[in-house]
Amino acid sequence: MVSQSALAQVALISNDLYMGFENQAGGGTSDYIINLGAASSLVGGSSVVNLSSDFSLSDFNAVLGSSSSMFGGVVAGSNGNPPDLYVTQLRSGGAGTPSVPGSTSPASFYKGDILTGYSDLSQLLNLPAAGNGLLDTSKYWESYVEPTFAAGTLYGDTGINPDSTVGTNSILYEDLWYVSNSSSSVKKPFTYVGYFTLNLAGSPSLTFTPTNAPAPPTSPVIVSVGKVGSTITLVSSNAVPTHTYQLQYTASLSPTNWISVGSSVVAGSPMVTNTDTTATDSQRFYRVQAQ
135 has a pLDDT exceeding 90: yes
Closest residue by Cα to residue 197 from 69, 86, 42, 33: 42
Residues 225 and 117 in one domain: no
Q: Answer yes or no: is 215 within a domain.
A: no
54: how many CB neighbours lie within 10 A of its CB? 17
179: how many CB neighbours lie within 10 A of its CB? 26
Last residue of a domain, one of 210, 243, 264: 210
> pTM of the entire structure?
0.79
| Residue 130 phi, psi (nearest 5) | -55, 135
Residues 204 and 240 in one domain: no
pLDDT tens for 45-61 read 999 999 999 999 999 99
Sorting pLDDT into bands at 50, 70 and 90, what band is 227? Answer: very high
Sorting pLDDT into bands at 50, 70 and 90, what band is 1? Answer: very low
The domain containing residue 226 runs over which residues? 221-290
Residues 205 and 73 in one domain: yes
Residues 13 and 147 in one domain: yes
Beta-bridge partners for 235: 224, 273
Give pLDDT, residue 3.
42
Last residue of a domain, one of 183, 210, 237: 210
Residues 87 and 193 in one domain: yes
Q: What average pLDDT score do residues 140-153 get? A: 88
Q: What average pLDDT score do residues 101-113 get? A: 96
Sorting pLDDT into bands at 50, 70 and 90, what band is 216? Answer: confident
5 has a pLDDT exceeding 50: no
Question: What spatial distance separates the first Cα and last Cα of the chain, rounded to whole Å?
Answer: 35
Residues 12 and 141 in one domain: yes
268 has a pLDDT exceeding 70: yes
Q: What average pLDDT score do residues 1-24 get? A: 76
Size of the chain, expressed as the number of residues it contains: 291
Number of compact structural domains in the chain:
2
Residues 252 and 142 in one domain: no
What is the Cα gyration radius of the chain? 21
